[in-house]
Amino acid sequence: MARFLVKDTAKNIGQKIKVAGWVNVRRVHGKILFIDLRDISGILQVVFVPSNKEAYDLAQSIRPEWVVEIEGQIVKRPDNMVNPKIETGQVELSAESLKVLSEAETLPLSIEGDGHDIGEEIRMKYRYLDLRRERMKRNLIVRHKVTKFMRDFLDNEGFTEIETPIITKPTPEGARDYVVPSRLNAGKFYALPQSPQQYKQLLMVAGLEKYFQIARCFRDEDPRGDRQPEFTQLDLEMSFVEQEDILNLIERLYVAIVKKVAPEKKIQQIPFPRIPYAEVMNKYKTDRPDLRKDKNDPDELAFAFVVDFPLFVQQSKEDFFFGAGEKMAPSHHMFTAPRKEDIPLLDTAPLKVKSYQHDFVLNGYEIGGGSIRIHNPKLQDKIFDLIGFTKEQKQQFSHLLEAFKYGAPPHGGIAPGIDRFLMILNNEPSIREVIAFPKTGDGRDLMMDAPSEIGKKQLDELHIKIVKPSVKKETLKKSVKKRKK
């Protein structure tokens, strides 16, 4: 007999069926025993009576979170037993046979309620149990619906989904790389991609014209509530477009997502406002303003685009990537195109040059960023000079400059972050609540015990020697806590 999902049982009154799942609750009323059976689709009440002796006797021993398989007949509940709160509330399963598939020890954490009152460390250690709670399951299902909608929408718009490499070349793009040692090339390293930026531009050179992927990105940054060492973004790029083409596409996509996946949400303004950077900083003192009229209303969505960013910012001496001194750093990244009318200022007043950068903001968060890109190799080389790149640093991008020599189309794109958007859509306080297996606030995976040490044999194969840090462990912990604050 084929297994039925709980949600389909109400359509089969009078039929004998088989269901399987977890024991959510066990109750006894007189001689009758009830359990609520839970699967991915919902909850079904199951009734055991003494006349079905074998199943009834075995049911006496089952406990919450045991995995069971039950066969029986779907019947209507008595009128006074109807539960309008669940989809199957008008029916129940009259059990005829019971099979225990797996027993469960007492859980180390409660999976009832939303779990916000439980410490992060225990929730992360037992994440596979934490995900059993209804809130977490719902968050992941919404995530699936959003990414599926994105794929279908962009497919209909003529985009091609293309995967780009996960192990690639270390390049100074604005954040620290996670590096991967190469066993076969001793002393050399790959890097995990901060984004598919260079690959998607090369796909435009290749003539694909409309690219996208649901991309995994990796950045070795200090942690905070809306940031993770690895995260997911909708990455897309288009050829022969202007900035407004990109913004219009994203606006249509997100309006459609909200209408389909979260119809209870209200978008405050359509079209989304386009606000110049100077104006937004003068008025709100931040480039990611919360534009909601009622900031206490979680169902209000105030999308906006911030545009007309400066191409450069004055670089601080503490900047990690672009050297110290009086050099400039890119406001977005070094592939962002200057506005056409400002190109002459690159020689005379580069800090006055505005760019074709666009940031996508929602309810006080930046949920995406992009730009029209540079596709002229001479202009790209000039930008490298202005931000103080050495000959060696330029060499790290030689493949891109080389590619631009063979006919590069004008192109641009954007990369909205999926995690932050889902955090806002699901009214969650952190992106960790919408990721299946996230890291903790200090970048650890407590469930898998990562990061962890590796053995001497593997280190020798990689030609790596570990040098123990001189700073005491306690000092490092205090430093991490200070950065988190």
Which tokens sit at 384? 């490298």
* Per-residue model confidence as pLDDT tens for the chain (485 residues): 999 999 999 999 999 999 999 999 999 999 999 999 999 999 999 999 999 999 999 999 999 999 999 999 999 999 998 999 999 999 999 999 999 999 999 999 999 999 999 999 999 999 999 999 999 999 999 999 999 999 999 999 999 999 999 999 987 766 789 999 999 999 999 999 999 999 999 999 999 999 999 999 999 987 666 689 999 999 999 999 999 999 999 999 999 999 999 999 999 999 999 999 999 999 999 999 999 999 999 999 999 999 999 999 987 655 544 444 447 888 888 999 999 999 999 999 999 999 999 999 999 999 999 999 999 999 999 999 998 888 888 898 999 999 999 999 999 999 999 999 999 999 999 999 999 999 988 889 999 999 999 999 999 999 999 998 776 555 555 555 554 44
155-162, long-range: CB < 8 A, 24+ apart: 157/210, 157/249, 158/210, 159/210, 159/211, 159/212, 159/236, 160/208, 160/210, 160/211, 160/212, 161/211, 161/212, 161/213, 161/214, 162/203, 162/208, 162/211, 162/212, 162/213
Residue that is written with structure tokens 């407004």 in the block = 244
pLDDT at residue 328, as a whole number: 82
pTM for this entry: 0.91
Vertex 8: Cα angle to 76 and 143 (nearest 5):
135
Which tokens sit at 127? 């994440």
Report the C-alpha gap between 32 and 47 in whole angstroms.
7
Non-local (6+) Cβ contacts of 456 within 8 A are none
Non-local (6+) Cβ contacts of 285 within 8 A are none
Report the C-alpha gap between 242 and 437 in whole angstroms.
38
Non-local (6+) Cβ contacts of 80 within 8 A are none
Q: Which domains does the chain show, CATH number per domain?
A: 6-102 (2.40.50.140), 132-434 (3.30.930.10)
Report the interhelical angle of 134-156 vs 243-261 (nearest 10°): 140
Quick check: helix, strand or coil at residue 456? helix
Non-local (6+) Cβ contacts of 239 within 8 A are 204, 207, 208, 209, 210, 409, 410, 411
